[in-house]
Amino acid sequence: MIDLIARPLEPQLADAFHRPITYLRISVTDRCNLRCVYCMPEEGLPWINKAEILSYEEIAEIVRAAAKVGVRSIRLTGGEPLIRKDLDRLVAMIAATPGIDDIALSTNGLLLADQVQGLVAAGLTRANISLDTLREDRFEAIARRPGLQRVLDGIDAAFAAGLGPIKLNCVVMRGQNDDEVEAFAQMTRDRAVAVRFIEVMPVQENVEGHVSQYISAQEILERIGAIGDLRPVDGPKGNGPARYYAFDGAAGSVGVISPLSHDYCDTCNRVRLSADGRLKLCLFGDHFIDLRTPVRDHAGEDALIAILRGSMYVKPERHHLDIGTTASAMRALSEIGG
Ligand code: SAM
Ligand code: SF4
């Protein structure tokens, strides 16, 4: 029988500044198999207690509630998401959620070749792979572990599995890898990748170094412009804050991400779920809401939706981090590579 009672559509999530929130980034672990100098210390990080990490079932429950109020895209990130066992099981659970039409992964690529086929079969639609250098000696210096060839194999495997377009995230640091910007850009002439250069941000590990390492998106574009004419283009499908450009006739594109400039904030459509179940409303700062407790208390979907709605009032208009300042919440950065 047809249900003739008109039901109002669930109003979609939007923050106090009228930005629709359609994108949820989920950190599935805080741990990693690399120790990138700009991200983590070599040792001594206080890892989150295993009991505090959300299970896949708990994450899926939050995703279902978020999808009911307009979240459409999910990104799995970390730490390194591929070190968490059976990630394809979580991807399948998210893919089965009505309303979710995009499931992306941010990875350092080390374990990608082994897992990508299973992930795509489970419903993964896109991947961002971090790659800061094309030289093994530098890879080891930046990531504090070897592995360049495994990352390159991971990129090839991702293409072979049909995961396109692939975005490569490259954090550019003056004096460390900025002389490779042109080589990365040349790669886009015949490979359908979007190489995205990310301005290095100050986090605990590089709060002193980042000022001297910092190189602006503008300077990166000028350097690439010196080896060929760049024109602005639409980026590949995605939710990122990058601006994209391409050489004439190139298969791929280059993008720049300037997290420290505030135009990044104007179009913000995202919130982040930490591995221990905190909903983070901004990349930096202490704006978060605990979702683990209501999930573990079996509060139910309506309660989760109410909490998600309430969290919108906590989302700030913009971050207040600038070049040369100290991050107020050092570990807040964990998912820039969108
Ligand atoms: N482990 C995965 C990876 O490396 O892609 C996912 C997590 S990682 C934190 C996500 C992205 O953040 C990576 O592209 C990484 O390069 C970037 N990132 C980490 N620390 C950064 C910093 N201080 N400044 C700019 N980007 C940073
Ligand atoms: Fe690990 Fe990614 Fe951080 Fe590098 S950037 S240490 S790969 S989480």
The pLDDT > 70 percentage for the chain reads 86
Ligand 2 pocket, residue 295 CB under 6 Å: no
Residue 102 lies in a domain: yes
In one letter, which amino acid is 274?
S
Give the model's pLDDT for residue 15. Answer: 81
Residue 87 lies in a domain: yes
Ligand 1 pocket, residue 78 CB under 6 Å: yes
Give the model's pLDDT for residue 17. Answer: 80
Average pLDDT value for residue range 205-221:
78
143: exposed, middle or buried (C-beta count within 10 Å: 0-12, 13-18, 19+)? buried
- Angle at 212 (CA atoms; ends 208, 213), nearest 5 degrees: 95
Residue 187 lies in a domain: no
The pLDDT > 90 percentage for the chain reads 68
Rounded Cα gap, residues 90 and 85, in angstroms: 10
Pocket test for ligand 1, best of 26, 27, 111, 130 (most atoms within 8 A of CB): 130
Residue 275 lies in a domain: yes
Q: Highest-confidence range of 15-19, 56-60, 332-336, by mean pLDDT?
A: 56-60
Q: Estimate the crossing angle of helix 112-122 against helix 87-95, to 10 degrees.
A: 20
Q: Which atom of ligand 1 is nearest to the CA of 78?
A: 7
Residue 2 to residues 5, 6, 7, 89, 224, Cα–Cα distance (Å): 9, 11, 13, 36, 60
Question: What is the model's pTM?
Answer: 0.90
Rounded Cα gap, residues 206 and 243, in angstroms: 25
Residue 194 lies in a domain: no
- Per-residue pLDDT at 193 exceeds 90: yes
Pocket test for ligand 1, best of 105, 171, 331 (most atoms within 8 A of CB): 171
- What is the domain range of residue 317? 23-164+266-336
pLDDT tens for 266-307 read 778 889 999 999 999 887 777 789 999 999 999 999 999 999
pLDDT tens for 223-238 read 999 999 999 999 887 6
Ligand 2 pocket, residue 40 CB under 6 Å: yes
Separation of CA 41 and ligand 2 centre (Å): 10
Average pLDDT value for residue range 167-193:
96
Q: Which atom of ligand 1 is nearest to the CA of 202?
A: 23
Which of the four pLDDT bands, split at 50, 70 and 90, describes residue 312?
confident
Q: Work out how many domains the chain is built from and give that number.
A: 1
Residue 209 lies in a domain: no
Residue 308 lies in a domain: yes
- Per-residue pLDDT at 2 exceeds 60: no
Give the model's pLDDT for residue 113. Answer: 98
Q: What is the DSSP letter of 338?
A: -
Which of the four pLDDT bands, split at 50, 70 and 90, describes residue 114?
very high
Ligand 1 pocket, residue 200 CB under 6 Å: yes
Residue 217 lies in a domain: no
pLDDT tens for 126-155 read 999 999 999 999 999 999 999 999 999 999
CB neighbours of residue 212 within 10 Å: 11
Ligand 2 pocket, residue 34 CB under 6 Å: yes
- Per-residue pLDDT at 36 exceeds 50: yes
Ligand 1 pocket, residue 258 CB under 6 Å: no
- Per-residue pLDDT at 333 exceeds 50: no
- Residue 75: which CATH number? 3.20.20.70
The answer to whether the CB of 83 falls within 8 A of the CB of 145 is: no
Poorest-pLDDT segment among 7-16, 264-273, 322-331: 322-331
Ligand 1 pocket, residue 80 CB under 6 Å: yes
Separation of CA 322 and ligand 1 centre (Å): 18
Ligand 1 pocket, residue 198 CB under 6 Å: yes
Residue 228: asked if its preceding bond is cis (omega within 30°), the reply is: no
Q: What is the DSSP letter of 14?
A: B
Alpha helices in the chain (DSSP H): 56-68, 87-95, 112-122, 136-143, 148-160, 181-190, 210-213, 217-225, 263-266, 292-296, 301-311
Going by CA atoms, what residue is nearest to atom 4 of ligand 2?
36
Pocket test for ligand 2, best of 26, 31, 80 (most atoms within 8 A of CB): 80
* Mean model confidence pLDDT for the chain: 88
